[in-house]
Amino acid sequence: MAERIITTGAPPADLYRIIAENVCDGVLYVGLGDTCQYASPSVEEIIGRSPGSMIGVGLLSIIHPEDLPEVERHCIELLERRRDRFTIEFRAQHSNGRWVWLEASARAVPDGDKRSAVTSVRDIRWRKQLEDQLLEALNEAEEKAQALERLANSDPLTGLANRRRFMIELEKAARRASTLAICDIDHFKVINDQHGHQAGDEALRGFAAAAQASFPDALVARIGGEEFAVLMTDTPVEDSVARCDAFLAGLARDGCTLPSGERLALTASIGIAATPCLDASELMQRADRLLYAAKRTGRNRVACEQPEEQRAVA
């Protein structure tokens, strides 16, 4: 019954013409090479070119240069019998000069001992716009997520890792060869009392910048108030002590410059502990105990678990 309804009242050739000339998608018959031999009326709605003006046109000539290599590759594979059909998206030039996104579905048809192609094309510019909007929204959401993660893991004043981030990394480092240095700026309360809290903030930022520069391969964090931590992995204790000594020497020499231009002297005390340890908390406790030992014995020095390696910075 279905076949009788389809064919009744119209010869098959007329039926195919009616279909080709009334479907919303444009229909193209592409001869040998890329020359258009037939274009349906819908093509004009899609790219603004009348069917008659399309005859004899090399279709590759209206494809965007950035999309052309991929379209050419598909066409060659079709003509060389490496595939029978393909679907591809590309930009074609509208008669008004603008580029419009199209989706083309091509299928090979016999043409003597060679091949031609019947191609249907549809305008997908609105879909592309929606895809671009979706991609933009996803990128924006990802940027916001990354910003929130940075806020959750960074100290807002110095830009260093915060205590939360540091403890996560310390838990991992506690299971391998690692050295932990806890640093505390000496007499920080005096800086705030004598110069104001803005100067105190500058001192914290200056200390953070100096520590980051001195330990570029380590994780430097502000873990509270004027207290900082440096996590060095795969670094022997003696090397860590030497690096901390050099850092304190540079800090005492350079200090910090306030917005007013006044130079502010800075020193710090450091306690160093190293793995093996039971866990991150135990390593922190040992380093913290050594920090206060450095403060008790004169400040501006490094204290480690080997008494002979406690020293004042010249």
226 in active site: yes
- Beta carbons within 10 angstroms of residue 168's beta carbon: 13
DSSP state of 97: S
- 163: exposed, middle or buried (Cβ count in 10 Å: 0-12, 13-18, 19+): middle
Catalytic residue among 136, 143, 169, 226: 226
Q: Which has the closest alpha carbon to 33: 60, 62, 7, 8?
A: 60
Residue by residue, DSSP assigns 216-273 as TTSEEEEEETTEEEEEEES--HHHHHHHHHHHHHHHHHH-EE-TTS-EE---EEEEEE
Judge whether 303 and 272 are in contact, CB under 8 Å.
yes
Question: Among 145, 164, 188, which Cα is nearest to 295's?
Answer: 188
Active site residues: 226
